[in-house]
Each structure stands twice: as structure tokens, then as C-alpha cells.
């Protein structure tokens, strides 16, 4: 279990290096986060701080924090009336919760309805919320459903700078030949040299953190 938590921590740091390098130092020096700390932040209206604390949960998750995330996902307002539910129930924050819950389910901290979360993630990809879309792309990778490979390949082949790397990383984290074949196809079809170079290094960067049952 401890090895699994360390793997998740390393994946989160790797992802942060790509998209939020300024936050990496603060994330690395932390040793954990308590439920009390999380509840204090979620009582505020500061979306940025709430998203950061969601990322802290991903790195330092525990069965207690996972159970709390389940309550948030189910919108259990009566249990935590002090929280800012307008923000907690927003698409942006629910995208983070979905990601947390799939990681927790993969690590056997909790059992969640993976189909429900997959449907949510795919619906978010149809929205205009770019931050939530990136998080949901990662979530599809963690869900490891072969039926999502074609969608992730399509997103990557658009070469949209807001989503290309997320889609490529999601595919690289997936198991099975379909995802790997998709990455090969993407490399052949894309035009950006920087994107092609990114794909060339992606396999060796994500391989140590991939978990296939």
C-alpha cells in the first residue's frame, strides 16, 4: 500500500512539472495533509486553494481522506454543512474529486461506481471548462477503459496545446495494446516537432509509474 501511495505521489509531481512547475517545490516538501486542513480550505470560496488541496489529497491520500472524498462526490451537505457547497459542487472541483476517487479505487482505499465517474468525465470533455477537461482526461487514463482510447487519440491528434499532453499522458498510463498503438499512430500523424519529441520521451517517463493488474 505504501508503494502505491508513493507511485501516486510521483505521478502527481510529474504532472505538476508539466502544467504547474511553480507548485512543485511546495508539494514536494509537504509530508501529508489532515482532514481538518482540507475542511478548512473547502469552507472558503477560493477555488485556487481548493484545487490545490485536492492535489494534496492525490499525493497524500489515506482511507480517511478517500472516504471524505466519497461524501463530497455524493454531495453529503448535511454531514459537512460548513463547506462551501457552491464551489465544492462545481464542475471544476468535481473533476478533481473524480480523479481522486479513481486513484483511491485503484489503490483499494474505497469502492466507487467507475461507470458513473467515467460518464461524468466524458461529459466534461464536451464542455468549455479547459481546466476540468484536462483533469478528466487524466481520469480516463486512470480508469483504463479500452473504449476511451479512440477518444483520447482524437483529442491528442488535434494538437491543442491545452489538452495534447494530457491526452498523451493518459494513453501512456493505460494498459493494453490499444493505447500503445494509439500513441504510435499519434506520433505518425501529428505535425508539431515539440509534440513529437514529447511523445518520444513520454514512455520512459511514465513507465516506472504504470500499474497494470
pLDDT tens-digit series, residues 140-192: 999 999 999 999 999 999 999 999 999 999 999 999 889 999 999 999 888 88
Instruction: Round to whole Å and give the CA distance between 109 and 107.
Output: 6
Q: Does the pLDDT at position 21 exceed 90?
A: no
In this prediction, what percent of the chain has a pLDDT beyond 70? 81
What is this structure's pTM?
0.82
Average pLDDT over the chain reads 87
At 211 the pLDDT is 64
pLDDT at 156: 95
* 3-class DSSP assignment, residue 108: coil
Q: Does 23 score more than 60 pLDDT?
A: no
Widest Cα–Cα separation across the chain: 52
Instruction: Kindly indicate the confidence band of residue 5, based on its pLDDT and cuts at 50, 70 and 90.
Output: very low
**Residue 185 vs residues 15, 109, 144, 156, 191: alpha-carbon distances, Å:** 23, 35, 19, 10, 12
Amino acid at each position: 500500500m505504501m508503494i502505491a501511495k508513493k507511485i501516486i505521489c510521483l505521478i502527481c509531481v510529474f504532472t505538476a512539472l508539466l502544467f504547474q512547475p511553480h507548485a512543485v517545490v511546495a508539494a514536494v516538501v509537504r509530508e501529508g495533509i489532515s482532514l481538518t486542513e482540507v475542511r478548512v480550505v473547502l469552507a472558503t470560496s477560493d477555488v485556487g486553494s481548493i484545487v490545490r488541496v485536492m492535489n494534496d489529497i492525490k499525493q497524500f491520500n489515506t482511507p480517511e481522506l478517500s472516504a471524505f472524498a466519497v461524501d463530497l462526490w455524493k454531495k453529503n451537505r448535511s454531514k459537512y454543512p460548513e463547506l462551501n457547497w457552491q464551489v465544492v459542487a462545481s464542475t471544476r472541483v468535481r473533476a478533481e474529486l473524480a480523479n481522486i476517487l479513481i486513484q483511491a479505487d485503484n489503490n483499494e482505499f474505497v469502492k466507487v461506481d467507475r461507470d458513473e465517474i467515467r460518464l461524468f468525465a466524458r461529459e466534461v470533455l464536451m464542455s468549455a471548462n479547459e481546466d476540468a477537461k484536462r483533469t478528466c482526461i487524466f481520469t480516463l487514463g486512470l480508469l483504463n477503459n479500452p473504449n476511451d482510447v479512440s477518444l483520447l487519440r482524437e483529442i491528442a491528434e488535434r494538437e491543442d496545446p491545452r489538452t495534447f499532453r494530457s491526452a498523451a499522458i493518459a494513453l501512456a498510463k493505460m494498459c493494453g495494446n490499444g493505447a500503445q498503438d494509439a500513441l504510435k499512430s499519434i506520433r505518425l500523424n501529428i505535425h508539431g516537432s515539440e509534440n513529437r519529441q514529447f511523445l518520444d520521451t513520454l514512455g520512459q517517463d511514465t513507465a516506472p509509474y504504470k500499474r497494470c493488474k
